[in-house]
Structure 1
Amino acid sequence: MKNNIKILIGMISVVFVILLAACGKPSVESSAKLEKQSQNNNLSQKTKDDSSNDDSIENSSNTDAYNNDTNEKVDPSNNVPAKDEDSSNHNAAVSLKDEYLKKLNDTKKEMDEMKPTDSSTFAAKKVEGDRFDIWDGLLNEVYGVLKEQLSTEEMDQLKIEQRNWIKYRDNTALEASQKYKGGTQEHLEYVAVLANLTEDRCFQLVGDYME
């Protein structure tokens, strides 16, 4: 009886060991599969990360290129906006005014440096006569430019104003010369006043009317 019990216990032990081994084998295989799947997942994730990094670099490069292109378009030192025709004409007119103001200032400087060759009245009248001729020539030149710039109505008004100014200039010079009536200084004073008033008129026309 005792032997039978021992045999039975032994058989149960063997069966138990077999069952235990059978259950353990799938567990090992499952672990291997899980490990392999984990490795595949890691590899897949790494591939995605690498791909994402590549895309990020490419996008960054494209963005830089776009920014560079944008910077070049808005850089005022490299791209000057095209000026329309009206703006160009306006600038040309302003430049013309500046040109004549410079010309008048340069002429004034030259005239101020002119000196008589001697102390005689004749030499003094020669200098004042030359001054008047030069300023009168510039006055006619400025007047011609204004004919091209001003409208018909503006030019008609300027003609009337200019006629009145000429009368004023001549009368003022004559009145000034009467202080020396009958003397050698009479004509000298007359021409000197003509020159001075004509010089002033040149600056006035350019400053008030020229564009």
Structure 2
Amino acid sequence: MISSRKYLIVSITVGLGLLTACGEASVESNAKSSNNNSALNADSDLTNKDERKTENSFDEKNDKNQLEEQGGMSKKASTSNEDDEPLKSDNNSNEVMESKKDVYLKKLNEMEESDRYTEVKTTMVEMEEQEVERYKKWDKELNEIYGVLKDQLDTDQMGEIRKQQRDWVTHRDEAAKVASLKYEGGSTESIEYVATQATLTRERCYELVAKYMK
């Protein structure tokens, strides 16, 4: 009878021990599973964070690239506009028309250069004819210049120039007479007269253009 009780007690003790061991194993297994799940969750969180970080970094990089591209395009457009403006300015400066004054001064210089290199005739008759032609050329130019001034200047200014011109004509003819009298009675008297008229007319052309033309 006592043996049966001992046996029963031992069996119960062993059973309890087994149950306890199973319970601890189950708890340890659950703990390990929980730890594994936590580790997996942590890894998953890290992975998600890394992915989000990568995505954010990629998005930031794209945004930065887009901003740089837009900035570059804006800068390029700005540079293009800035470049166009100087070019436009340079083109305009090249296309600016010469003033009447510059045109006529250039023309007068060319006429004077032509006179300087014209071959002088040999006979008195030819020499006189040559001086007459020279005078006519400069007198025609003087009349043309006078016409331009009439278009450019106001009535008061032209009134003053008209008075000066009448006085100048008197001066021209008197100066030509004085110059020719040096050769009075000679074959060159008439040549000197017209040559002086031509020279003074040329000087008057320069004077009117330089002082009054615009």
State the match for 1:46 in structure 2: 54
TM-score (norm 1): 0.82
- Shift in Å, 1:81: 8.6
Uncovered stretches (5+) of structure 2, i.e. residues with no partner: 1-8
State the match for 2:213 in structure 1: 210
Distance 1:18 1:180 in 2: 149
State the match for 1:67 in structure 2: 75
Give the fraction of aligned pairs with identical amino acids, expressed as a percent. Answer: 28
Cα contact 1:132–1:191 (8 A) shared by 2: yes
Does the alignment pair 1:126 with 2:129?
Answer: yes
Deviation by residue 1:27-77 (Cα, 9 ceiling, x = unmatched): 221111111111011111111111122222222222222122111211145
Matching of residues 163-174 of structure 1 within 5 Å: 163-174=166-177
- Shift in Å, 1:183: 2.2
Distance change in 2, residues 1:187/1:161 (3 Å): same
Once structures 1 and 2 are overlaid, which stretch shifts more, 176-185 or 125-134?
176-185
The amino acid that maps onto 1:170 is D
State the match for 2:190 in structure 1: 187
Distance 2:180 2:76 in 1: 74
State the match for 1:117 in structure 2: 121
The amino acid that maps onto 2:129 is K
Report the RMSD for the aligned CA atoms in angstroms: 2.8
SS of 2:185's equivalent?
Answer: coil
State the match for 1:101 in structure 2: 105
SS of 1:184's equivalent?
Answer: coil
TM-score (norm 2): 0.81
Once structures 1 and 2 are overlaid, which stretch shifts more, 69-78 or 166-175?
69-78
Uncovered stretches (5+) of structure 1, i.e. residues with no partner: none
- Shift in Å, 1:23: 3.3
Q: Which has the larger radius of gyration?
A: 2
State the match for 1:147 in structure 2: 150
Distance 2:114 2:87 in 1: 42
Distance 1:179 1:117 in 2: 21
